[in-house]
Amino acid sequence: MSYGKSFTPGEILTAADVNNFLNPSTNQYTPQAVARGTVSLTIPANSQVASQSVTLPPDIFASTPTVMLTMTGGSGLEADIEPKTHNKSPDGFRVYAIARTKVTSARTVQIDWLAVS
């Protein structure tokens, strides 16, 4: 079974196109589940790491999702803080804000997350 198709301008979709390329039950590239959210993490003074567990909605993900993170605000939006995930499962994951060096005062960042499976 093919999992991709390039359509040309003016081409009319056929039933086979829809069944083979647009149907989520037969196309591996169509997301089966999506969830999103935001976490706020505060890295304490004289530390480098803050973390928080995220619980995904129940019975949404049949397999471990791909999780994407982006920092969206807060006092620590500088380039020296990096968001990371760990312990991903269909039930949830842990989000970390990691500073390259110890911060001298507490810094808070907001991290948006998107889970797709």
Q: Which domains does the chain have, with CATH numbers?
A: 1-30 (no CATH), 32-116 (2.60.40.2080)
109 in Cβ contact with 79 (< 8 Å): no
CA distance 34 to 17: 24
Give the Cβ contact number of residue 113 at 10 Å: 19
- Only one residue has tokens 């040309």, namely 8
What value, to the nearest 5°, has the Cα angle with vertex 97 and ends 92 and 103?
A: 155
Taking alpha carbons only, the member of 56, 53, 33 closest to residue 95 is 53
User: pLDDT tens, 102-117?
Assistant: 888 888 899 999 999 8
User: pLDDT tens, 22-80?
Assistant: 666 666 666 678 999 999 999 898 889 999 999 999 989 989 999 999 988 876 556 68
Answering whether pTM is above 0.85, one says: no
